[in-house]
Amino acid sequence: MTRREIRAISDTAWNPVAKRDRRADGSFVYAAVTTGIYCRPSCPARHPHRRNTLLFHTAEEAEREGFTPCSRCSPGSNSLTLAEKCVTAVIKYLDTHFREKITLCTLSRVTGLCPNHLQETFKRIVGVSPKALCDAKRLNHFKQLLRNGETISTATYSAGYESSRAVYEQSGRRMGMTPSTYQRGGEGVTVRFSITGAPLGRLLVARTERGICALLIGEDDKLLIGELQGQLPKAVLVRDKITPAKLIAAAQSCQSEDPLISKLPDASRKQVFEVKLWKALQ
């Protein structure tokens, strides 16, 4: 690639650099001729003048031209910025510690970031707060315990809730029914559901008169319906003839995801999307 060709790419890619758009990370890097350093598009460092900026398709190309990676944004192939490493560390920590009482101070010790900076960084990249993600993990585990036949009392404390009151406060907004009704497989409850498209496949949203009771993501409509029936075997399931416009709009509003989230395992990506969608629908 000649320097003239590189400058031609710069004309079409300067906009995401100017906006520090994280969605462009991984598609190219830019280099400052004056400093000899190359960066990812979202780098927080001060921009070089456009006339002194070269763009490359890959980090390898930039290094072959003699440029060195920026220490602030870590633009090398498959490398993570400090912020990305901290977010990844928090998600992994929540995966194994969601039953415990977790505060921003706890997560600050895990990552090394101050609590406020951690909160802002996590929400900017993930789209929800660490607490929202932790609450979702805890509630999903609680529901799984009930489906496994545990008593409400045992499931409450095994999932990490400090009291039954905390469970009932969550259940009204996130289960669409009381824990005892959920434990009985939704007996006596009518559940309406719709299926639409989602970033990772098909999305099923089920609700009762009290609120949303299930968000499921999969590749096949029949399998999703079967999963809903497995969770609520005694409920009356009714599929909407027309998918509510509110659901379609909420799903579309949650389509965009940070490049870091797209690198996570599918299970983590699905849970992040589900939490974002819960927030949008509530």
pLDDT at 111 over 80: yes
pLDDT at 4 over 60: no
Q: Is residue 126 part of a domain?
A: no
Q: Which of the following is catalytic: 43, 86, 134, 254? A: 43
Going by pLDDT thresholds of 50, 70 and 90, the confidence category of residue 8 is: very low
Instruction: State how far the Cα of 63 lies from the Cα of 226, in Å rounded to an integer.
Output: 52
Q: Is residue 186 part of a domain?
A: yes
pLDDT tens digit sequence for 113-131: 999 999 999 999 999 999 9
SS3 at position 17: helix
Mean pLDDT of 101-111: 94
Domain co-membership, 40 together with 138: no
Indicate the pTM of the whole model: 0.81
43 flagged as catalytic: yes
Q: Is residue 245 part of a domain?
A: yes
pLDDT of residue 13: 77
Mean pLDDT of 33-62: 90
CA distances from 98 to 13, 19, 45, 56, 161 (A): 41, 35, 35, 42, 10
**CATH code of residue 52:** 3.40.10.10
Domain co-membership, 164 together with 261: yes
Q: Is residue 147 part of a domain?
A: yes
Domain co-membership, 50 together with 184: no
Q: Provide the residue range defining the domain that includes 49.
A: 3-69
Q: What are phi and psi of 52, to 5 degrees?
A: -105, 15
> Which residue, among 56, 57, 46, has the nearest Cα to 18 in the 3D structure?
46
Q: Is residue 101 part of a domain?
A: no
Overall number of domains in the chain: 2
Among the candidates 35, 69, 103, a domain finishes at: 69
pLDDT at 71 over 90: no
Mean pLDDT of 11-30: 86
pLDDT of residue 275: 93
Instruction: State how far the Cα of 106 lies from the Cα of 115, in Å rounded to an integer.
Output: 9
- Full DSSP string of 206-236: EE-SSSEEEEEEES-HHHHHHHHHHHSTTSE
The amino acid present at 12, given as its one-letter code, is T
Is the sign of the CA dihedral 60, 63, 65, 71 positive or negative?
positive
> Which residue, among 203, 206, 207, has the nearest Cα to 223 in the 3D structure?
203
Q: Which of the following is catalytic: 39, 86, 213, 254? A: 39
> Which residue, among 69, 79, 80, has the nearest Cα to 125 in the 3D structure?
80
Instruction: State how far the Cα of 35 lies from the Cα of 17, in Å rounded to an integer.
Output: 17
Mean pLDDT of 222-241: 96
**CATH code of residue 222:** 3.30.160.70
213 flagged as catalytic: no
Q: Is residue 12 classed exposed, middle or buried when 0-12, 13-18 and 19+ CB atoms within 10 A define those classes?
A: exposed
pLDDT at 177 over 60: yes
pLDDT of residue 1: 45
Q: What percent of the chain has pLDDT over 90?
A: 61
pLDDT tens digit sequence for 183-211: 999 999 999 999 998 888 899 999 999 98
Strands 37-39 vs 29-32: parallel, antiparallel or unpaired? antiparallel
86 flagged as catalytic: no
Q: Is residue 250 part of a domain?
A: yes
pLDDT at 5 over 60: no
70 flagged as catalytic: yes
